[in-house]
Amino acid sequence: MVNSAAAGTPAAHRAQRQRFLVYIKLSVVMGISFVLEVTSTQAPQLAIWYITDMYNMLIGVTIFFIFVCKRKIFRMLSEKFQKSREAKQRFNASETNVTYIDEHKEQFLLQNKSA
């Protein structure tokens, strides 16, 4: 991509910057893992083993968030949940209106039968 004619475009710079940020994030995550492992081998009797093990168990989740969860994805998810929440509220409101109409009809029928 660097040798191509499009390498100087703003879109190419954004893509390179995004790729660089992903590499930095991944390096930090893996570096923390390395430091924790080295630290835990120096003091095997300490409870740092629990911290190291927990971090190693959650490293997959962390990498998932680094690669998958971007602002665009969060925005799309929030829009989807907001739409579903609005649809549910509209459904509940219409359901309430139907219940009210049914109760009104029932009262009307009872008044007509007693008259």
What's the pLDDT tens digit per position in 17-65? 989 998 998 899 889 988 888 888 887 777 778 888 888 889 888 888 8
pTM over 0.95: no
Q: How far apart (Å, rounded) are the C-alpha atoms in residues 83 and 76?
A: 11
Find, among 19, 25, 66, 21, the residue nearest to 11 by Cα. 19
The secondary structure of residue 47, as a DSSP letter, is T
